[in-house]
Amino acid sequence: MRFFRLAVVAAIAWLRPGLPPAQGHAANPERASGCTLRIHVDGLRNAKGNIGTVVFKSAAGWPEDTKKAFRVGPAPIDSTRRGGIAEWSNLPPGDYGVAAIHDENSNARLDKNLLGIPREGFGFANNPHVGWGPAPFKAALVHVGCPETDIAIHIQYR
């Protein structure tokens, strides 16, 4: 259930000075170029907090080791529709694993109960069924092509 540490991703990106909230930062220093990935997130139960997103180039570290993530960061919530859009530009074309969380209280973590069940929402690209723990990397894999790729993640709550 280490997936739920993904919320730390949002905190790190949010607290670093000079980072625009909707774009976060590149966790990997590798130079990116080319394509834009637009992540449309819906299904939020309220408009509180922010949306945290993480983008991985490989299964290594998926989804909790943000040091191995290619992109990490928060995006604002559109209060009129209980959703939001995270946009990542300058990605090389290719396949990426994508996950999102709804950090309702902006405490930079996915709050859980004593059993480890999330109190806040989470979701993955392709919206796979999630039992205990995160979706497998391959289930959340999307192909990013140029100039733009749009995907949708529906947030779920337990």
84 Cβ contact partners less than 8 Å away, ≥ 6 residues apart: 41, 44, 50, 51, 75, 76, 77, 78
pLDDT tens, position by position, for the chain (158 residues)? 444 444 433 433 333 333 334 445 455 444 446 899 999 999 999 999 999 999 999 999 998 787 899 998 999 999 899 999 999 999 999 999 999 999 899 876 778 899 988 899 999 999 999 988 889 999 999 999 999 999 999 999 98
The percentage of residues in the chain with a pLDDT greater than 90, rounded to a whole number, is 62
Q: Could you tell me the residue ranges of all domains in the chain?
A: 2-154
- Arithmetic mean of pLDDT over the chain: 83
Buried b (16+ CB within 10 A) or exposed e, 80-116: eebbbbbbbeebeeeebbbbbbbbbeeebbbeeeeee
Identify the bridge partners of residue 39 per DSSP, sorted by sequence position.
86, 151
How does pLDDT run across 54-95, given as a tens digit for each residue? 999 999 999 878 789 999 899 999 989 999 999 999 999 999
